[in-house]
């Protein structure tokens, strides 16, 4: 085992929450509203099935191959060369996605706050911080996530409270005006975010109390779903049908807050939350890439790979993405489909093969 | 060629090597090869005008575009 550190199942659950939510609360309400209109609050419920399924599949695979990550057991399930190929695909996919996450983070920071800063500075400084976290190992990331969790959740709840007087409950209606299909269409993009729980395939072997792994994984999916429903309802009540035309509804909502001329300019709070969440999210993805590629190349230590991979992430955040228009176009036209293939179909296939492979052995041991 | 970028990236790569070298010396050859090949990939990639070049995201998009267009109908 490359990683000596251990985290608790609770820490994993807490770690996964900002890993999914950090980017999901900002731009996803608008994406869901584009397809689902008034029923955007239903879409996370459909999407949550993807989350529950991936946690279930990754936990079942973990039961078949305890103490092994996806990279290692895929070689045992489908053989050395196809297994390595699958491992490479996942490392490459996560490298690509981390690049996109960092780019999304940086574009938001530059677009909303640091107008004159070159984007590469924002990206590089974030990666620099994450490099130190990842070099510290999974324990450091776990603790950082635990530490940042209240700072991440409380400001969001506070913002909802402050905006309560501005909410218009009538925007909720009509429910299911055009049937169930629009809300299902709205779930296509967010199901990728919940499918990111497939990262637990790398984290389950690192748990000190792996028997509780599934419970906390599922609870984390539930928490993510509830948060997504809440933010969607919140944006719907505040903006009505205008949500779909906004790039970052929550950001605009925070600018609305004005109570007693004292609570104002709360967008800086959203910003702080976003930086914290993005830090945890990028660190977790970064760590998974580093651990995965170290296991893929069978080296003795993953730490030397952290800097080169951090450098590659910076490059991948630019590769093929000239601007945010292209970025959003890619997010909607292709991401949900290859994401579905990599996070749901391929894991299910692996589980099926693992099940068939392990059957005769169990019968032998029973006889 | 953008010489400024080449120079900056080379400097960055050298800094990373300097930072890791003391720890890397004691590691087996496999680790060293992995470290240097990843750095080389990064160095080579950085020489291109990446934002305006077709990347993996573009290829995947070409591959999965039909599904996306189906959704938009």
Q: Is the ipTM of this complex over 0.85?
A: yes
A55-59, A329-333, B46-50, B52-56 — most confident range:
A55-59
Residues A139-174 pLDDT 10s:
999 999 999 888 888 888 888 888 787 788 777 777
3-state SS record for A90-134: HHHHHHHHHHHHHHHHHHHHHHHCCCCCCHHHHHHHHHHHHHHHH
How many angstroms separate the first and last alpha carbons of chain A?
32
Residue A365: pLDDT band with limits 50, 70, 90: low
| Domain tally, chain B | 1
- Predicted confidence at residue A133, as pLDDT, reads 92
For residues A101 and A23, the answer to whether their CB atoms sit within 8 Å is yes
- What's the token pair of residue A110? 């530059």
How far apart CA A26 and CA A253 sit, in angstroms, is: 11
Between A138-163 and A9-36, two packed helices, what is the crossing angle to 10 degrees? Answer: 50
Residues A246-267 pLDDT 10s:
778 887 877 777 776 677 777 7
Residues A104-132 pLDDT 10s:
889 888 888 888 989 989 999 999 999 99
Angstrom distances, CA of residue A72 to CA of A7, A68, A227, A284, A356 = 20, 6, 34, 19, 18
- What's the token pair of residue B48? 């291109």
Task: Write out the residues of chain B at the interface with chain A, using a CB-CB cutoff of 8 A.
Answer: 12-13, 16, 19-20, 23-24, 27-28, 30-31, 34-35, 38-39, 41-42, 45-46, 50-58, 60-61, 63-65, 67-69, 71
Residue B72: pLDDT band with limits 50, 70, 90: low
How far apart CA B41 and CA B45 sit, in angstroms, is: 6
Q: Check whether A12 has a pLDDT greater than 80.
A: yes
- Predicted confidence at residue A364, as pLDDT, reads 55
**Strand ranges (E), chain A:** none
Please give the average per-residue pLDDT across B5-15, as a whole number.
Answer: 89
Containing structural domain, residue B50 = 3-72
Residues A275-310 pLDDT 10s:
888 999 999 999 999 999 999 888 888 888 899 999
Question: Chain A: residue nearest B55 by CA?
Answer: A320
How far apart CA A256 and CA A159 sit, in angstroms, is: 10
- Predicted confidence at residue A366, as pLDDT, reads 53
Domain A9-354 classification at class level? mainly alpha
Quickly list DSSP for A164-185: GGG--GGGGPSTTTT-SHHHHH
Q: Where are the domains of chain A?
A: 9-354
Burial class (CB in 10 A: 0-12, 13-18, 19+), A115: exposed
- Predicted confidence at residue A4, as pLDDT, reads 81
By Cβ distance, the residue of A297, A300, A319 closest to B55 is A319
Placement of tokens 């609570």 in the chain: A263
Residue spans of alpha helices (H) in chain B: 3-24, 29-46, 56-72
Interface probe, candidates B51, B59, B62, B69, chain A, greatest A C-beta count within 10 A:
B51
Percent of chain A at pLDDT exceeding 70: 97
Please give the model's pTM, rounded to 2 decimal places. 0.91
């Amino acid at each position: 085992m490359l990683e000596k550190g251990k985290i608790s199942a609770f820490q994993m659950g807490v770690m996964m929450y900002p890993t999914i939510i950090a980017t999901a609360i900002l731009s996803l309400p608008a994406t869901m509203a584009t397809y689902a209109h008034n029923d955007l609050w239903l879409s996370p419920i459909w999407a949550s099935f993807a989350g529950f399924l991936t946690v279930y599949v990754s936990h079942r695979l973990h039961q078949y191959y305890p103490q092994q990550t996806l990279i290692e057991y895929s070689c045992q399930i489908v053989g050395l060369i196809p297994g390595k190929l699958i491992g490479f695909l996942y490392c490459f996919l996560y490298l690509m996605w981390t690049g996109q996450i960092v780019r999304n983070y940086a574009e938001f920071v530059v677009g909303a706050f640091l107008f004159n800063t070159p984007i590469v500075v924002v990206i590089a400084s974030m990666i620099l911080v994450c490099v130190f976290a990842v070099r510290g190992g999974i324990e450091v990331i776990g603790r950082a996530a635990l530490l940042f969790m209240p700072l991440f959740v409380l400001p969001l709840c506070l913002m909802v409270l402050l905006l309560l007087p501005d909410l218009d409950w009538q925007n909720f209606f009509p429910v299911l005006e055009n049937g169930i299909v629009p809300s299902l269409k709205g779930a296509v993009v967010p199901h990728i975010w919940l499918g990111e729980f497939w990262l637990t395939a790398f984290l389950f072997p690192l748990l000190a109390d792996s028997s509780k792994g599934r419970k906390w994984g599922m609870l984390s999916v539930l928490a993510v779903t509830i948060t997504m429903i809440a933010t969607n309802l919140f944006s719907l009540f505040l903006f009505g049908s205008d949500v779909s035309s906004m790039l970052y509804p929550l950001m605009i909502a925070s600018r609305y807050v004005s109570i007693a001329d004292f609570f104002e300019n709360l967008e800086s709070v959203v910003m702080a939350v976003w930086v914290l969440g993005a830090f945890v999210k990028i660190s977790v993805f970064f760590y998974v890439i580093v651990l995965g590629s170290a296991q893929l190349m069978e080296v003795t230590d993953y730490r030397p790979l952290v800097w080169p991979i951090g450098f590659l992430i910076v490059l991948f955040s630019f590769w093929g993405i000239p601007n945010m228009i292209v970025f959003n176009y890619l997010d909607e036209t292709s991401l949900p489909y290859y994401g579905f293939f990599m996070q749901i179909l391929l894991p299910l296939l692996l589980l099926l093969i693992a099940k068939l492979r392990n059957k005769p052995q169990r019968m032998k041991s029973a006889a | 060629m953008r010489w400024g970028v080449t120079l900056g990236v080379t400097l960055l790569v050298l800094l990373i090597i300097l930072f890791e070298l003391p720890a890397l010396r004691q590691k087996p050859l496999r680790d060293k090869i992995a470290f240097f090949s990843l750095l080389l990939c990064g160095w080579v990639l950085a020489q291109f005008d990446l934002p305006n070049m077709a990347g993996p995201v573009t290829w995947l998009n070409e591959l999965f575009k039909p599904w996306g267009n189906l959704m938009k109908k």
